[in-house]
Structure 1
Amino acid sequence: MYVLIVYDVEEKRVAKVLKFLRKYLNWIQNSVFEGEVTEAQLTEIKMGLKKITNKEQDSIIIFKARNQKWLNKEIMGKEKNPITNFLD
């Protein structure tokens, strides 16, 4: 499945969340990650984020789609971290 994760966390936890999500997904903009993951990986991501964040102070939104083709992404302005796919 293809996921888009958006988060707004307390400043002292931002670096931990960023480092954790980079293990699974592509960073595309401040506090935004996207990528293809399995159900098991998404479960790992959710469990990891629960350990790092505070549910009383932090907010995380996970958007899910069957795969990337079901998500229409339009970029206005400069793309902060373009994702390139190379075919061998």
Structure 2
Amino acid sequence: MASMENYNTTMFAKGGACTFATEIGAMARNPNGHPPVINAVGTATIVLTVLAAIAHTFLLNRERAGRRSPPAAIPPCRRRSRPGRVGPAG
């Protein structure tokens, strides 16, 4: 299916095929007003997009929560001398 954002390209390159975008575009240009199916398709598209975004966020947070492990005890930092130095420089 061609993208709704690329309507002009779709109209130029579609050949004899009718795509979803061109059908909706033809309905919207109807001089007697557009049919209610355009409103229904737009509403369904928005609802599905929002539901997909919510599901993705939920699953991502669930995955991140599963990866967390309790913080390990961190040993205190020790000063390390440089390799090759045994005593104070002098």
Quickly name the TM-score band, shorter chain normalised.
under 0.3
Please, what TM-score do these two structures have when normalized by structure 2? Answer: 0.23
Q: Which has the higher strand share?
A: 1
Please, what TM-score do these two structures have when normalized by structure 1? Answer: 0.24
Q: RCO greater where, 1 or 2, for CA within 8 Å and sep 6 or more?
A: 1
Larger Rg: 2
